[in-house]
Amino acid sequence: MSNIASAFSTGKAFIPFITCGDPDLETTAAVVRAAVDNGASLVELGIPFSDPTAEGPVIQGANIRALTGGVTTDKVFDLVRDLRQDVTVPMVFMTYANVVFSYGAERFISTCRDIGIDGLILPDLPYEEKEEFLPLCREYGVDLISLIAPTSENRIAMIAKEAEGFIYLVSSLGVTGVRSEIKTDLESIVKVIRENTSVPCAIGFGISTPEQAAKMSSISDGAIVGSAIIKILEKYGKDAAPYVGEYVKSMVEAI
């Protein structure tokens, strides 16, 4: 059982997404610890990238602030080494294929294993091209997390059958961001996933309120929230950690 499975072993998982280095890496470390202290089951850490195609304006802004502040992949690795001194919940990176390529795929993925990163989410990596990274991920014990979108249709079963760690089910078309309502027929997608794998499935994109989190986790194994957390960071900056902690607590209680 991969370490990621432990995040889903005691009930519904709440998964916060945090862009590393927004507004600085010290704040990121404090925010991750506040989220975990308040019940986050797994943490998604974004490695900033100059062209984050899956992201809406809120997370794009976080990427720009982090990069302007001088955040590099090596500095993010150091951040994780620091977090792993006391943070035991699973942690995964979310970034883009180019970040891994430019660093050197084997060097990147072997470092993930060495520092205690459990999985890797690459939203711009098509299912058909995952062999670029999958053998290295398997060699170093890092789960390559599959994404399933409403447009996946006849590929849902195929992707689910080969999924590792957990499945990131994208709630709606378009980019990340807060949505007032989520209209996709997610129940039918989850049904196909469940028929093809026992790997847990968490829903992300557009979730911001406890009510949405409760609804999404009622049909899946957990909820992923990014933009709503980044907005708190945007508002409170270096003082954001306790506010993020309060927000995470409200979401954990809801699900």
Calpha distance 109→98 (Å, rounded): 13
Boundaries of every domain in the chain: 13-145+208-254
**pLDDT given at position 90:** 98
Q: What is the DSSP string of the chain?
A: --GGGGGGTTS-EEEEEEETTSS-HHHHHHHHHHHHHTT-SSEEEEPP-S--TT--HHHHHHHHHHHHTT--HHHHHHHHHHHTTT--S-EEEE--HHHHHHH-HHHHHHHHHHHT--EEE-TTS-GGGGGGTHHHHHHHT-EEEEEE-TT-GGGHHHHHHT--S-EEEE-SSSSS---S---S-HHHHHHHHHHH--S-EEEESS--SHHHHHHHHHHSSEEEE-HHHHHHHHHHGGG-HHHHHHHHHHHHHH-
Which residues on adjacent β-strands are paired with residue 91? Answer: 43
Are 208 and 247 a contacting pair, CB within 8 Å?
no
Going residue by residue through the chain, which has 255 residues, state the pLDDT in tens, using 9 for 90 and above. Answer: 579 999 999 899 999 999 999 999 999 999 999 999 999 999 999 999 887 666 778 888 899 999 999 999 999 999 999 999 999 999 999 999 999 999 999 999 999 999 999 999 999 998 889 999 999 999 999 999 999 988 887 899 999 999 999 999 998 765 544 444 555 689 999 999 999 999 999 999 888 999 999 999 999 999 999 899 999 999 999 999 999 999 999 999 999
Fold that domain 13-145+208-254 belongs to in CATH: TIM Barrel (3.20.20)
Peptide bond between residue 23 and the one before it cis (omega within 30 degrees of 0): yes
Q: State phi, psi for 207 to the nearest 5 degrees.
A: -85, 130
Instruction: Tell me which residue of 156, 168, 250, 167 sits closest to 212, measured CA to CA.
Output: 250
**pLDDT given at position 51:** 79
**pLDDT given at position 179:** 45
Instruction: Tell me which residue of 175, 173, 254 sits closest to 216, measured CA to CA.
Output: 254
Considering the entire predicted model, what is its pTM?
Answer: 0.93
